[in-house]
Amino acid sequence: LATLTAILMSSPSFAEPTYGFSQIGSESGWRTSETNSIKAEAERRGIDLKFSDAQQKQENQIKAVRSFIAQGVDGILLAPVVESGWDQVLREADRADIPVVLIDRGVDADPSLYLTKVASDFKEEGALAGSWLAAETNGNCDIVELQGTVGSSAAIDRKSGFDALIGNFPNMKIIRSQSGDFTRAGGKEVMESFLKAEGGGDSICAVFAHNDDMALGAIQAIKEAQLDPADDILVVSIDAVPDIFKAMADGDANATIELNPHLGGPAFDAIAAHNDGEDVPKWIKANGPLYLPDTAAAEYEARK
Ligand code: GYE
């Protein structure tokens, strides 16, 4: 029996599955939660997860995916830092018959080259932020925008969704827009330059930040400019990390849109379904609601 067990355990169908995960980096609090959540989910399911941190560089991600292919992993999770330039490496994975699941951001490659994408609808997030701001200001607002990483689907689509929405309001316009690379330091630095360029900031009605970390950096800059964030300058952002709830509870931010960081479960389920011969939809959506200061203290306690 011992021999039989040993033979069975060493056969591929009984060995624990091995997946590769090419993560972007750790630019934001949201991404750190996502990394921790996906690692924990893999462990819970007995998946051997090979983790690679690309430190924001696409070339590192391409190398990581190639090394996962060379190791013959059973599946690959890829959080693509930018939208373009993936066709070739995705084709290599496809040829090796290794399913690739895009995690939290999209690519502009041929959809047949990956199994599915587990991500939110960024255009909807941008539109939700814009409609909150339109209601709050009666459609009158000079906005500064902190964009995410240049070339990322999250930045491109959050911008276009927001732009389309405020396009319905002739007195809402973006007066300045620049990338803060999804980081707190980037958000602070760019907000400082906006405040300076706008003569101290009195003309700025609101800041729309493509993520909470940049909003948190902007809040610092606004305070240092002797203005009151959430009051003198409205602050709306995306992610719903614990620190933005703290800022809302403290009266420093106005609204955030939740993006669930627990994307590992649906990604692993999709690969399992595919292996069982089931059809998997090309996009598994993960959109969340908008939160306001009234529930922020309770949300912070529940999430911190
Ligand atoms: O909003 C941001 C992160 O790709 C959706 O990337 C993700 C974004 C998220 O760094 O905080």
**Is a pLDDT exceeding 90 seen at residue 97?**
yes
Pocket-testing residue among 32, 120, 159, 239, ligand 1, by greatest number of atoms within 8 A of Cβ: 239
**Residue 210 CA to ligand 1 centre (angstroms):** 8
Do the Cβ atoms of 75 and 94 come closer than 8 Å? no
Residue 253 makes CB contacts below 8 A (sequence gap 6+) with 215, 219, 229, 230, 235, 236, 237, 244, 247, 293
pLDDT on residue 15: 75
Residue that wins the pLDDT comparison between 11 and 191: 191
pLDDT on residue 231: 98
- Percentage, residues of the chain above pLDDT 70: 96
**Beta partners for residue 48, in sequence order:** 18
**Residue 213 CA to ligand 1 centre (angstroms):** 9
pLDDT digits (tens, 9 = 90+) for 29-40: 999 999 999 999
pLDDT on residue 9: 60
pLDDT digits (tens, 9 = 90+) for 209-237: 999 999 999 999 999 999 999 999 999 99
For residue 50, the surrounding DSSP H or E stretch is strand 48-53
Q: For residue 2, what pLDDT band results from cuts at 50, 70 and 90?
A: confident
Mean of per-residue pLDDT scores for the chain: 96
**Is a pLDDT exceeding 70 seen at residue 5?**
no
Closest protein CA for atom 8 of ligand 1:
154
182 within ligand 1 shell (Cβ under 6 A): yes
pLDDT on residue 3: 74
pLDDT digits (tens, 9 = 90+) for 42-63: 999 999 999 999 999 999 999 9
Sequence letter at residue 145: E
Average pLDDT, integer, range 86-94: 98
**Is a pLDDT exceeding 80 seen at residue 7?**
no
pLDDT digits (tens, 9 = 90+) for 245-265: 999 999 999 999 999 999 999
What count of other Cβ atoms lies within 10 Å of the Cβ of residue 298?
11
